[in-house]
Amino acid sequence: MDRDTNFKRYLKLELLPTPWCPGCGNGIVLKTVCQAFDEIDMPKNGTVVISGIGCAGRSAGFFDLDTVHTAHGRAIPVAEGIKYANESLNVVVLSGDGDLLSIGGNHLLHAIRRNTNITVVCYANETYGMTGGQVSPTTPYGTKTLTTPDGNKDTPADVQYFFKNRNCFFARTTAYHLNHMKKCIVEALKFNGFSFVEVRTMCIVNYGRRLGYKNSNEILLHYKEFYKVNDNTVELAQNEIGILKYTSSPDAEVIL
């Protein structure tokens, strides 16, 4: 089989197209996750994908694997329950920034603390797209959204700091940097312990166009201009993407 289309074996192609809007970045992330699966030849038997609620929450259903679509914010505890019940499973969580950082934020903090051996891929699109475009935990300061007509007065969550002094894996990447994204996800899947990949991705219909972007290509070009790859650091600057080096003591325990 041609290597380029081999990743399709992880998808239920008959369910396509996805429910996502034209120009949405979720499909790019979904495809890259499958390519990462393919690269390390993830076994279809023994891999489960869990997601929460929202646009990104619909990802799990497209995998040709056993998948779970949980309640809003609860993808991580369900994934942990599965992992603790059957250590031999590869457990992957795909969900959005609202789901993982806002309503499910507490679970994320504690999953990091427990260092459960699961992989989380976060579609950070800076908005609640499915409900029309409200402010989300990754919306930049000052941004106008449906619920912040005078600009966002809160500072966005910088997830890398949740991982400070923890023996976990953290990477930030974007929907533009496809090879980098694949590398980050592959490294995360290989990591023995809790791993988290924050993918900056775009919502054009309910977010980007209100900020003046004409199409999602313009947002991708913005990522290209703005983000610089830095894979050799303990702290990422705002305009940097990369994989964090560990900052914790190496003897910190990995559970399962």
Partner 1 sequence: MPKQLLQGNHAIALAAEAAGLKFFAGYPITPASEIIHELVNKRHIKVLQMEDEIASINAVIGASLAGLKAMTATSGPGFSLMQESIGLAHMMEVPLVIVNVQRVGPSTGMPTLPAQGDIIQCIHGSHGDYFPIVFYPNSVLELYTYTVMAFNAAEESLSPVILLSDGYISHLYETIYPHRDFNIKRRNQKPIGTSNRHFTGLSHEDSVIKTTDTENHRRFIRRLYEKQQLTARHYKFHEYLECSKETDALLISYGALSRIAYYFKDKYSLYRPIRMFPIVEEIKSIAPRYKRIIVMEMNAGQYVHEIERVLRREVEFVSVIGGRMDLQEIKEKIYG
For residue 249, give every residue at least 6 positions away whose Cβ sits within 8 Å of its Cβ, in sequence order, or none.
Answer: 167
String marking each residue 60-89 x if it binds partner 1 according to CB under 8 A: xx-xxxxxxxxxx-x--xxxxxxxxxx--x
Judged by CB, which is closer to partner 1: 112, or 219? 112
Residues numbered 92 to 121 that lie near partner 1 (CB under 8 A) are 106-107, 109-110
For residue 187, give every residue at least 6 positions away whose Cβ sits within 8 Å of its Cβ, in sequence order, or none.
Answer: 169, 171, 195, 243
- Please give the structure tokens belonging to residue 216: 């999602």
Q: Specify whether the CB–CB gap between 185 and 197 falls below 8 A.
A: yes
Asked if 13 interacts with partner 1 (CB under 8 A), we say: no
Asked if 39 interacts with partner 1 (CB under 8 A), we say: no
Dump the DSSP string for 142-178.
T--BTTBTT---SPPP-GGGGGTT-S-EEEEEESS-H
Residues numbered 124 to 153 that lie near partner 1 (CB under 8 A) are none
Q: Shortest gap between Cβ of 18 and partner 1 (angstroms)?
A: 11
- Please give the structure tokens belonging to residue 4: 């380029």
Asked if 245 interacts with partner 1 (CB under 8 A), we say: no
- List the Cα angle 176/181/28 in 5-degree steps: 55
Judged by CB, which is closer to partner 1: 48, or 189? 48
Q: Shortest gap between Cβ of 245 and partner 1 (angstroms)?
A: 28
- Please give the structure tokens belonging to residue 103: 């309503």
Applying CB under 8 A, among 33, 42, 48, 243 the residue interacting with partner 1 is 48
Asked if 15 interacts with partner 1 (CB under 8 A), we say: yes
Judged by CB, which is closer to partner 1: 84, or 246? 84
Q: State the number of binding residues for partner 1 (CB under 8 A).
A: 37
Burial of 175 (C-beta count, 10 Å sphere; 0-12/13-18/19+): buried
By the criterion CB under 8 A, which residues form the site for partner 1?
12, 15, 44-48, 50, 58, 60-61, 63-72, 74, 77-86, 89, 106-107, 109-110
